Amino acid sequence: MEAKFLERNLKVKSNRMEWFEGVKDGIPLALGYIAVAFTFGIAAFQAGLSVFQSSVISATNFTSAGQFAGVTLIVSTATLFEVALTQFIINARYFLMSAALSQKIDPKTPFWQRIIMGFGISDEVFAVSLARKGKLNPFYTYGLMTITISSWVFGTFLGTISGNILPDQVIRALSLALYAMLISIIIPPAKRNKILMSVIMISMLASFIFDMLPVLSTTSSGLKIIILTVLISGLAALFFPVKEDTNE
């Protein structure tokens, strides 16, 4: 009995240390998340969402690309089906990330812990978790989730509150930060990869065509995002597949 108690106590201490390690490693991510989530809060305010509504969206979704797309669809009064399908396509990459992380955790990890880990996966949380040496303790990921999700919600809260307080001129200026953020994300890797740069240019051209041609301009924003995402990414994967490294 005493041996089991000591073993359980050591496990609790180990899990607690893993959680604190996750929180510590997630601090740099949290600082970046506050800035991006602030921009989302501004976008949510411009879409007519309240502080509570925007904060709930960030707390229950935790996906920047999906949330920005969702706000765009809300403004354009898209159907629920378009919103759901768009979110499914945009966030489909998390299926692959979850599958990859499942290989790093103990096979005996309970299903409910896997569910929690799956909810908290973002691109950055996935990268940090995958870089963790050895087997991945779920409590390490919980630590990452604690600091990153709370900072994401806090940034959204600040952004929406600012939208209710700041003058319209300042709000319009801050809304440009979204486009600056997107450019800062895509330009560095595109400069190193001609194929990626070509895909970006084709995406911009295709979006422009959808807006200008009379036949296509009537397409809803949600359906346009779905068509362009599936079509362009599918063609890029077909003609320019990423080659896997082979170890002899």
Four-point Cα dihedral 45, 47, 53, 56, nearest 10: -90
Residue 91 CA to residue 84 CA, distance in Å, equals 11
Q: Say whether both 169 and 197 belong to one domain.
A: no
Domain boundary, last residue among 128, 145, 177 = 177
What is the pLDDT of the chain when averaged over all its residues?
A: 81
Closest CA to 71 of 88, 58, 89: 58
Q: Say whether both 224 and 111 belong to one domain.
A: no
Mean pLDDT of the 205-219 span: 76
The domain total for the chain is 2
Q: Say whether both 212 and 168 belong to one domain.
A: no
Residue 98 CA to residue 86 CA, distance in Å, equals 20
Q: Does the pLDDT of residue 118 top 70, yes or no?
A: yes
Q: Say whether both 150 and 209 belong to one domain.
A: no
Residue 101 CA to residue 47 CA, distance in Å, equals 35
Domain boundary, last residue among 148, 177, 206 = 177
The predicted-structure confidence for 223-244, as pLDDT tens digits, reads as follows 677 777 778 877 877 787 766 5
- Provide the pLDDT confidence category of residue 176 given band limits of 50, 70 and 90: low
Q: Say whether both 163 and 218 belong to one domain.
A: no
Domain boundary, last residue among 142, 177, 212 = 177
Q: Say whether both 141 and 238 belong to one domain.
A: no
Q: Say whether both 93 and 7 belong to one domain.
A: yes
Give residue 61's identity as a one-letter amino acid code.
N
Q: Say whether both 50 and 130 belong to one domain.
A: yes
Q: Does the pLDDT of residue 5 top 60, yes or no?
A: no
Tell me, yes or no, whether 187 lies in a domain.
no
Highest mean pLDDT pick, 159-168, 170-179, 214-223, 235-244:
159-168
Residue carrying structure tokens 């509504």: 53
- Provide the pLDDT confidence category of residue 174 given band limits of 50, 70 and 90: low
The predicted-structure confidence for 123-143, as pLDDT tens digits, reads as follows 888 888 888 888 888 899 999
Tell me, yes or no, whether 188 lies in a domain.
no
Mean pLDDT of the 184-209 span: 79
CA–CA distances in Å: residue 243 to residues 99, 131, 199, 239, 248? 20, 21, 17, 12, 15
Query: 239 — phi, psi (to 5°)?
Result: -95, -25
Tell me, yes or no, whether 186 lies in a domain.
no
- Region for residue 4 given its phi and psi (left: phi exceeds 0; alpha: psi -120 to 50; beta: otherwise): alpha
Tell me, yes or no, whether 184 lies in a domain.
no
Supply the range of the domain harboring residue 226: 193-242
Q: Say whether both 34 and 142 belong to one domain.
A: yes
Predicted pLDDT at 78: 80
Report residue 193 as tokens. 């990869």
Q: Say whether both 58 and 153 belong to one domain.
A: yes
Residue carrying structure tokens 């597949």: 241
pTM of the model: 0.71
The predicted-structure confidence for 32-85, as pLDDT tens digits, reads as follows 888 888 888 988 888 889 999 999 999 998 888 888 888 888 888 888 888 888
Q: Does the pLDDT of residue 247 top 50, yes or no?
A: no
Tell me, yes or no, whether 72 lies in a domain.
yes
- Burial zone of 157 (CB within 10 Å; 0-12 exposed, 13-18 middle, 19+ buried): buried
Residue 144 CA to residue 135 CA, distance in Å, equals 16
The predicted-structure confidence for 90-102, as pLDDT tens digits, reads as follows 888 888 788 888 8
Tell me, yes or no, whether 233 lies in a domain.
yes
Q: Say whether both 63 and 158 belong to one domain.
A: yes
Four-point Cα dihedral 123, 129, 133, 137, nearest 10: -160
Q: Say whether both 212 and 167 belong to one domain.
A: no
Tell me, yes or no, whether 185 lies in a domain.
no
Helix axis angle for 111-119 and 138-165, nearest 10°, is 30
